[in-house]
Structure 1
């Protein structure tokens, strides 16, 4: 507004008013009363009217003042002022304060000019914002013709403003659509070699229609940064995983000897928390490491053996340099599998000295975990656990039904241990007569009993020294021999039969049984103390009926093996024969499966094993015996008919004779089922 310094009153003459109007160049002058409150206005048109009426210059203007006027409060906002000007019929308005005293004048033209200046300023500010925010933008009218483009967008998409202006959006970006009823969408768009995030939104125009605003954000750089960040995160996770699962403990100190990093494995070994070590002088937490010594010497070295919780460990002390200056040190604590390293070096030294041959002994393991075929999750879990257990010296008990492969599992454990090149001796406790078991186990001296060899004989424990002794069917061992075995397990020493010399051995015991040792302990048939000595690590091998996914896998392996062994040329199994194998419960487990495969391969005629090549007792157990039946003419039924009849019988049996349920199981209608029952003469009593 323009401030008002002087106002007219009703007593002012026409001459005074002309002078005032000429001085201020206003077309409208405020008129106030004695209280200085606005009561009306004197306009240029009133002036012309008085002059045309030949009024005297001394005539007061009071009778000509226009009193029906509108005023604007000094508290009026810009938005309210815009609305007022839009509907006002006068070109000028006066601003009054709370007492009604005029304090300023606003003309419509000046206000519009001010609004235009403000609009230009806002436009420039918006342009700067878009420019500094690296956003590209365009606007389109209600006909979706582009009416505005900022400089950023030209640079982003490489198209000049002149090419895009007045073009329809659909002609430039044909795939862009805002669904009906939606005011805003976000999507990615690849333009040239760049990728943009687009925000497309509708806006209301002054004509009541809707236009479009599109904002472009180049995210190509962000994508590259995200990929780099993802790569860094992956490397960090990989490094952290290596550190967390490393067999070595790690500790790092800075140049003043304070701890800057400790690995989880080290904290676990010393039963500490991270907050107990962070930024603490290492001499207060791990003085035995003597890690600050290398800060002074700058030379890497290794400690003597130390012990914690019965675990031996070494500390490698390594200085850290930067630009030839020591900035810290690393302590690498080695404590796992040190005994295996020692054993390996011992074997190497003995080999170098010629005390042991390089090749395996005659009696050694013949199988590894890689050679045990299975895709069953439970078996794969057992393999992993077996490999872990193999690394130690602890006694292992393998349990499972007959024929599940307990001995195979024992071989694999020995092959995965650090004793793999040492003897693997097997004793079947059920196959050796009880009166010979003791001499078989411990050997005997010359003249120990009638018929003894002149020079005596070494026992299985002697033979297994340095390696593994596998005691199969240990549940069949006598109580007397159990007591002697317990002593060997506890003391690692024994006496030969008839001998007086104590013999010390280094052996690992792996035992196996298909019997329930817990029940035997309760009945007094098996020593409780021996059971607990054997049952330190126990593995239960599941029977074949609980891992039927392995049946066909094993059959394929047996087929290849037996083709070589027997000179047969069997190429595969008929699907119905495979189904028969899967239906069987296999009480004899893998051993029975191999026998069935061998028998079927011998009887197969044309290179493919069919149902009729399988043993009759197996087919009868699973209800496949109807495949062997013949029709009244003495000819075998066609294979498809036999399969169909079997399926109907099986469905009726599963549905307890309910034909509706049987139809659902078979996927046929009731009328079709009745036709089949009649055709195959299947009794309703099934």
Structure 2
């Protein structure tokens, strides 16, 4: 503390004594003191502070003193006091040595310039009256860390290619194209009707790519008002407009840095914003709203749409140059009606997920119910199939869903109910006397073989679905396959 020239000499001496007395008081009553110079290097610690050194990773005082304070004391704010010249009288500091109540006081020379900072550890024992405050701070810090970990987990990919259920030729081809796309950094354009699983496929491509450890950030363009889209994409500079956050806000491009950005319903992108999106994709940099500085980013873009982008280009509602920039690796996701043989397996997986989310016992579908599901047009695709199953599960009194319940759900939803497709008739020549007089076991085995093969053909090789169509268990099907092979 510098002397005050406006005071008489006696007053200056008393002020100096008071400063010295306060320093001695803090040195004796506190749990430790630390002093840094104008370069934020530790120049002194008192004897009480030395007991914290082992917990901070130092055995000797000389290994601690002389080093930058930010290197030896984690979470310190001493540099902040040096920069602002403002004291931090009461604060909570938490690091490897524990949680402490601390004060940080700037030290000034005769000209009033900050030449160092004195740090004082006021309390560190659980027995002090401030322990409830320290405990609350520690709980809040833990909750914050948990929330950060949860947010990081949520921004990772939820699905893999194994999550895209199906084994029919259209699905096998989609997975092949997705694996190829995952090995590239070029934009991917997912095309297909609503409810076909485009977002799931985007997650899967991200999970199979070299960016799998990065964030997966998605934005549904159709769900964001046009006036907010620019800020949503590119972020907002500090104080860009009245009411804007003083710290600014990162946009989706920046949040996806190092990972993947999924632009769902790209066909709904406003025409006025399309040039900025094109520039971001071409240059790898964005300009936050209200800023004149460009910010680089490194995000792989996957776009999706249920609309005909070619038609939108011809109508002048979508920029042709942006279309070609996105249309590098197009993947068409087939509608459910083109992969009917996958419906039994999809229904099983959806039924398990519905039961898990509702906290109920899993339910199963009988062969007639599976056949009815496989015959519908499913204009809403997998999303519509899930909705029908969920409604049926809510109406069922037990864990078994039959065709009667499904038919009622379809009728109430206004969905045209189509009867199950009849099995293709088996063409048999009239048996000869020699065939009829064969051993009965041989004839039964032949009939079983024909029936099993027909069921496998109808379900695209899905053994579980085939077993349900035949009215037997999967284990029984495997047993019969071994006997009739």
| 4+ residue segments displaced more than 6 Å | none
Aligned length: 272
Give the CA deviation at 1:568: 3.2
The answer on whether the counterparts of 1:365 and 1:412 sit within 8 Å (CA) in structure 2 is yes
Q: Choose which of 169, 193, 213 in structure 2 pairs with 1:401.
A: 193
Instruction: Name the counterpart of 1:417.
Output: 209
CA distance in 1, matches of 2:365, 2:235: 50
Instruction: Name the counterpart of 1:490.
Output: 282
Q: Which structure: larger Rg?
A: 1
Instruction: Name the counterpart of 1:503.
Output: 295
Check 1:570–1:506 CA distance in 2 against 1; reply closer, same or farther (3 A cut).
closer
Check 1:455–1:379 CA distance in 2 against 1; reply closer, same or farther (3 A cut).
same
CA distance in 2, matches of 1:361, 1:576: 41
Match runs of 1:275-674 below 5 Å? 362-614=154-406, 615=409, 616-617=411-412, 621-623=416-418
CA distance in 1, matches of 2:316, 2:383: 31
Check 1:454–1:557 CA distance in 2 against 1; reply closer, same or farther (3 A cut).
same
Instruction: Name the counterpart of 1:302.
Output: none
The answer on whether the counterparts of 1:584 and 1:618 sit within 8 Å (CA) in structure 2 is no
Give the CA deviation at 1:610: 1.6
Instruction: Name the structure with the higher strand share.
Output: 1
Deviations, residues 117-163 of structure 1 (Å, cap 9, x unaligned): xxxxxxxxxxxxxxxxxxxxxxxxxxxxxxxxxxxxxxxxxxxxxxx
Give the CA deviation at 1:622: 2.3
CA distance in 2, matches of 1:498, 1:539: 36
Check 1:364–1:623 CA distance in 2 against 1; reply closer, same or farther (3 A cut).
closer
CA distance in 2, matches of 1:389, 1:431: 27
Q: Bigger relative contact order, structure 1 or 2, given CA contacts below 8 A and separation 6+?
A: 2
Check 1:378–1:506 CA distance in 2 against 1; reply closer, same or farther (3 A cut).
same
What SS class does the counterpart of residue 416 from structure 2 fall into?
A: helix
RMSD over aligned Cα atoms? 2.3
CA distance in 2, matches of 1:506, 1:375: 35
Deviations, residues 324-345 of structure 1 (Å, cap 9, x unaligned): xxxxxxxxxxxxxxxxxxxxxx
More displaced stretch, 613-622 vs 499-508 = 613-622
Match runs of 1:26-425 below 5 Å? 362-425=154-217
What SS class does the counterpart of residue 222 from structure 2 fall into?
A: coil
The answer on whether the counterparts of 1:471 and 1:509 sit within 8 Å (CA) in structure 2 is yes
CA distance in 2, matches of 1:453, 1:466: 25
Unaligned runs of 5+ in 1: 1-356, 625-642, 648-686
CA distance in 2, matches of 1:474, 1:371: 24
Deviations, residues 293-321 of structure 1 (Å, cap 9, x unaligned): xxxxxxxxxxxxxxxxxxxxxxxxxxxxx
CA distance in 2, matches of 1:512, 1:449: 32
Deviations, residues 47-93 of structure 1 (Å, cap 9, x unaligned): xxxxxxxxxxxxxxxxxxxxxxxxxxxxxxxxxxxxxxxxxxxxxxx
What SS class does the counterpart of residue 426 from structure 1 fall into?
A: strand
Give the CA deviation at 1:377: 1.4
CA distance in 1, matches of 2:415, 2:231: 47
Give the CA deviation at 1:583: 1.6
Instruction: Name the structure with the higher helix share.
Output: 2
CA distance in 1, matches of 2:174, 2:263: 20
What SS class does the counterpart of residue 397 from structure 1 fall into?
A: strand
